Amino acid sequence: LAIAAVAMFGFGYAMIPLYKSICEATGANSLTKRDEDAAAFARNTQVDASRTVTVEFDANVRGTWLFKPERRTLDVHPGELVTVTYELANTRGQPVTGHAIPSYAPSRAAQYFRKIECFCFSQQTLAANETRRFPVVFVLDPNMPKDVNTITLSYTFFEVAGQLGAVPQGQLGAVPQGQ
């Protein structure tokens, strides 16, 4: 019995790094990480004016938020630096922290969608009944396959129970409503 108890404890203890390794390998349960090379990539990329890709913007919420893109579609030339804005409103009478997770359709387009700035890189805390606009700055890699003519960027914004890290009140990239 003692050996079984020690083995079960050891297995439980080993599950934490094993779980993290599996999540990193499969991409499951991972938060969006900043693409550290995206800004340099955008500065050194030539715009392919001979090609246009339609980017569709979508927003979904889990919780008491109002969340929407300010534009639904935009025609983009690969290599062109683009800024779009999403509006987020906390409809509660108390501060709430949330996080956005992006998804792409077709899924293979994700590797060619290079974000320089995005509210999805960190958690966002909004005061009671506060509304903010957040920019998403990106560039499409000109090496994207020629058969990809439309990309849908969809964010799901959800409330988080605890903060992963301290998020300052005047968060990077936030544009106060009305500006």
Q: Mind listing the pLDDT tens digit for each residue in 147-168?
A: 999 999 999 988 887 554 444 4
Q: pLDDT grade, residue 70 (50/70/90)? A: very high
pLDDT in the model for residue 40? 60
pLDDT in the model for residue 169? 41
Mean pLDDT of 38-51: 72
What is the distance between the alpha carbons of residues 38 and 108, in angstroms, rounded to a whole number? 18
Q: Per-residue pLDDT tens for 107-131?
A: 888 888 888 888 888 888 999 999 9
Alpha-helical regions (H) of the chain:
2-26, 38-43
pLDDT in the model for residue 12? 84
Q: pLDDT grade, residue 44 (50/70/90)? A: low
Q: Per-residue pLDDT tens for 22-42?
A: 666 655 554 555 565 665 666
- The region that residue 24 occupies, defined by phi over 0 for left and psi between -120 and 50 for alpha, beta otherwise, is alpha
Instruction: Report the range of poorest mean pLDDT among 13-22, 81-90, 129-138.
Output: 13-22
8 Å CB contact between 147 and 118: no
Please say if the pLDDT value at position 48 is more than 60: yes
Considering the chain, what is the average pLDDT of its residues?
81
pTM: 0.69
Of 82, 101, 85, which is closest to residue 140 (Cα–Cα)?
82
Q: Per-residue pLDDT tens for 72-105?
A: 999 999 989 899 999 999 998 899 898 898 999 9
Q: Which DSSP symbol is given to 117?
A: E
